[in-house]
Amino acid sequence: MSTLLSPLREFFRKGDLLLLSLCLIASGFGLLLIFSATQYTKDGPLRYIAVQGMAIVLGVVAYMLLTFVDVQLFVEKNWKLLLAFNIIFILLLLTPLGTDNNSGNLNWLDIPGFPVDIQPNEIVKLPFILLLALQISKIQEREQDISSLPSILQIGGHTVFMLGLVAAVCGDMGMCVVYAFIFIFMAWSAGVKVRWFVLVGGGIVLLALILWLFVLPETSLWTDYRIMRFRVVFDHDLDPLGRGYQQARSILAIGSGRLFGQGYLQGTQTQALNSDALPARHTDFIFAVCGEELGLIGCLVLLLILSLIVLRCLWNSRQASSPFAAYVCTGMGCMLMTQIVLNVGMCLYVLPVMGLTLPFISYGGSSIITLFTAMGIVSSVKAKALPSWLKDRNQ
pLDDT at position 13, please? 83
* Average pLDDT score over the chain: 89
pTM of the model: 0.92
Model confidence at 308: pLDDT above 60: yes
CA distance 246 to 287: 13
Model confidence at 116: pLDDT above 50: yes
303 φ/ψ angles, rounded to the nearest 5 degrees? -65, -35
| Alpha-carbon distances of 216 from 220, 230, 235, 285, rounded to whole Å | 7, 13, 17, 29
Model confidence at 354: pLDDT above 90: no
Helical ranges in the chain per DSSP H: 2-14, 17-37, 46-67, 71-91, 120-123, 125-141, 149-169, 173-190, 194-210, 225-234, 245-257, 286-319, 323-347, 365-383, 388-394
Q: Of residues 134 and 273, which shows the higher confidence score? A: 134
CA distance 351 to 357: 14
Tell me which residue of 22, 27, 44, 23 sits closest to 265, measured CA to CA: 44
Tell me which residue of 252, 328, 299 sits closest to 76, measured CA to CA: 328
Report the half-sphere exposure of 22 (CA within 13 A, side-chain side).
22
Specify the DSSP class assigned to residue 211.
Answer: I
Tell me which residue of 371, 376, 373, 392 sits closest to 319, measured CA to CA: 392
Model confidence at 388: pLDDT above 70: no
Residues in the chain: 395
Q: Which distant-in-sequence residues (6+ apart) come within 8 Å of 1 by Cβ?
A: none
Residue 263 β-bridge partners: none
Q: Which distant-in-sequence residues (6+ apart) come within 8 Å of 296 by Cβ?
A: 257, 258, 259, 260
pLDDT confidence bin for 101, thresholds 50/70/90: confident
Of 96-100, 103-107, 132-136, 318-322, which one has max mean pLDDT?
A: 132-136
- Burial class (CB within 10 angstroms; exposed 0-12, middle 13-18, buried 19+) of 382: buried
Model confidence at 394: pLDDT above 60: no
pLDDT at position 1, please? 53
119 and 367 in contact (C-beta within 8 Å)? yes
CA distance 30 to 16: 21
> How many C-beta atoms surround the C-beta of residue 62 within 10 A?
19
pLDDT confidence bin for 219, thresholds 50/70/90: confident
pLDDT at position 229, please? 86
